[in-house]
Amino acid sequence: MTIDETQQEIVEDFSGFEDWMDKYAYLIELGNELAPIDPKYKVEANLIRGCQSRVWLHQEFTEGRIIFEAESDALIVKGLVALLLKIYSNHTPKEILASEPRFIDEIGLRQHLSPTRSNGLLAMVKQMKLYALAYDRISANNK
């Protein structure tokens, strides 16, 4: 599935919720279901620090694709992290660089990716793109 198709699927998943509480309950469920990051990666070097919550992000580059693993200490953030992983993980650097997380706007949770929310999510997206940029350069140099 392309990044865009995954985003579309998420938007459809959320369109069924009428009540804000159902929406957040679903995010909490996603957060609870997200497999925890390997403890050896839950280290300072992988920590994205927000004033409000923390996100840990780890990546590996295999066969031209970046595999992301991430976790947060706040459950709603973790739910959103799960969505971001679903969208961006296991894609090529070029695909990642070419795509913005538009779903967040469409499911009515834009405020969580705004610079005024220091929950680490915006920094996580930036960090994923930076990794993509770096791997894109490395691949280009190796050709």
Partner 1 sequence: MIPDISKIRKDFPILDQIVNGKPLIYFDNAATSQRPVQVVERVNEFSLRSNGNIHRATHSMANRTTEAFESGREVVRKYLNAAEAAEVIFTHGTTESINMVAFSFGEAFISEGDEVIVTEMEHHANIVPWQMMCERKGAILKVLPFSEEGELHIGLLDSLITGKTRILAVAHVSNTLGTINPLAEIIAKAHQKNVPVLIDGAQGAPHFRIDVQALDCDFYAFSGHKLYGPTGIGVLYGKRKWLDRMPPYLGGGEMIDRVTFAKTTYNELPYKFEAGTPHYVGAIGLAAAIEYLHNNDIQSLIQYEHDLLTEATYKLKQIEGLRIYGEAPLKTGVISFNIAGIHPFDLGTLLDQMGIAVRTGRLCADPVMDHFGVENMVRASFAFYNTSGEIEAFYRALIRLKGMF
Q: With contacts defined by CB under 8 A, how many residues of the chain interact with partner 1?
A: 17
Catalytic residue, candidates 21, 35, 45, 51:
51
Task: Report the residue from 42, 54, 65, 102 that binds partner 1 according to the rule CB under 8 A.
Answer: 54
Q: Could you say which of 2, 12, 15, 20 contacts partner 1 (CB under 8 A)? A: 20
52 binds partner 1 (CB under 8 A): yes
By CB under 8 A, residue 116 contacts partner 1: no
Candidates 75, 97, 123, 134; binder of partner 1 (CB under 8 A) is 75
**Residues 71-108: b if buried by 16+ CB within 10 A, e if exposed:** bbebbbbbbbbbbbbbbbbebbbebbeebebebbeebe
Report which of 128, 29, 12 is spatially closest to residue 76, judged by C-alpha positions.
29
At its nearest, how many Å lie between partner 1 and the CB of residue 137? 35
Give the C-alpha distances (Å, rounded to integers) separating 75 from 14, 24, 35: 17, 10, 13
Cβ-based nearer residue to partner 1, 119 or 127: 119
How many angstroms separate the CA atoms of 78 and 34, rounded? 8
Where do contacts with partner 1 occur on this chain (CB under 8 A)?
20-21, 24-25, 28, 51-54, 73-77, 112, 118-119
